[in-house]
């Protein structure tokens, strides 16, 4: 008979896989940013929030804080490296106030996590207390990571377009939330259950918005293409008219 711990480990491994997919899902977005040389209207908040979340969960999974949490450390350590890459690209292709905002947020996050680690390891002397303090913070910031796309969802409702809310990211968030919620419920861990359960709800909300505004998004994109084609055609006609006038003037 398969033990609950074995099932939990298997689900944790699957959760690691889905979390990796979630972390890598913005790659097409950043390829677009790289090709255009601009961050356009993309928000850095989801990536900065995810970076903070990963750093806090790595701290939570340390043997000195919450022993036997290797799966938590491995995926969140990988997530840290990936999110740092995204933030670096965002800094590279943003300008002015947007760039300064990202720099300040990044510095604040690193300073905050460092301070929490120093205080918890020096003042809390049992695993239970350390797990509780860091776990509560993980709940707060984990919820923040999943709630970060709310700003994008607001923009979707205002513009009636899901162009800047990638479907793949929403799907990956849903699958990841389901896996980690199941992982936490088998051997109940309140600190993992709460943020991932909320993550499932936020992901479902994003998918509902995608279904509502997908058609209007296609209409907006088509209208933009038609306008661009009209501008291009107007330019051709104007240039052609100038050429004809110059040729006519040369005949006299």
pLDDT tens digit sequence for 17-68: 888 887 887 888 888 888 888 887 777 887 888 888 889 989 998 898 888 7
Question: pTM score, two decimals?
Answer: 0.67
Q: Are residues 148 and 49 in contact, defined by beta-carbon separation less than 8 angstroms?
A: yes
Burial label for 20, CB within 10 Å (0-12, 13-18, 19+), is: middle
Predicted confidence at residue 252, as pLDDT, reads 45
Question: Average model confidence (pLDDT) for the chain?
Answer: 82
Cα–Cα dist 92/86, whole Å: 10
Cα–Cα dist 50/76, whole Å: 10
What's the maximum distance between 2 C-alpha atoms anywhere in the chain? 100
Domain extents in the chain:
4-227
Cα–Cα dist 7/3, whole Å: 7
**Which residues does 134 contact at the CB level (< 8 Å), separation at least 6?**
56, 59, 60, 65, 66, 116, 120
pLDDT tens digit sequence for 60-71: 988 988 887 888
Cα–Cα dist 136/158, whole Å: 34
Cα–Cα dist 32/1, whole Å: 49
């Amino acid at each position: 008979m398969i033990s609950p711990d074995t099932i939990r480990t298997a689900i944790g491994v699957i959760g690691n896989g889905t979390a990796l997919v979630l972390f890598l899902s913005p790659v097409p977005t950043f390829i677009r940013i790289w090709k255009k040389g601009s961050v356009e209207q993309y928000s850095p908040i989801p990536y900065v929030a995810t970076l903070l979340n990963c750093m806090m969960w790595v701290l939570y999974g340390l043997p000195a804080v919450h022993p036997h949490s290797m799966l938590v450390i491995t995926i969140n350590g990988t997530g840290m490296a990936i999110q740092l890459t995204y933030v670096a690209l965002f800094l590279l292709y943003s300008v002015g106030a947007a760039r300064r905002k990202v720099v300040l947020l990044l510095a604040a996050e690193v300073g905050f996590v460092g301070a929490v680690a120093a205080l918890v390891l020096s003042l809390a002397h049992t695993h239970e207390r350390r797990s509780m303090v860091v776990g509560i913070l993980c709940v707060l910031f984990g919820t923040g990571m999943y709630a970060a796309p709310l700003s994008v969802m607001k923009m979707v409702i205002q513009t009636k377009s899901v162009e800047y809310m990638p479907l793949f990211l929403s799907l990956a968030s849903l699958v990841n939330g389901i896996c980690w919620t199941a992982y936490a419920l088998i051997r109940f861990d309140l600190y993992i259950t709460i943020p991932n359960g909320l993550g499932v709800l936020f992901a479902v909300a994003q998918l509902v918005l995608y279904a509502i505004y997908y058609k209007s998004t296609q209409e907006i994109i088509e209208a933009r293409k038609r306008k661009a084609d009209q501008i291009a055609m107007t330019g051709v006609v104007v240039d052609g008219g100038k050429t004809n006038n110059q040729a006519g003037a040369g005949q006299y």
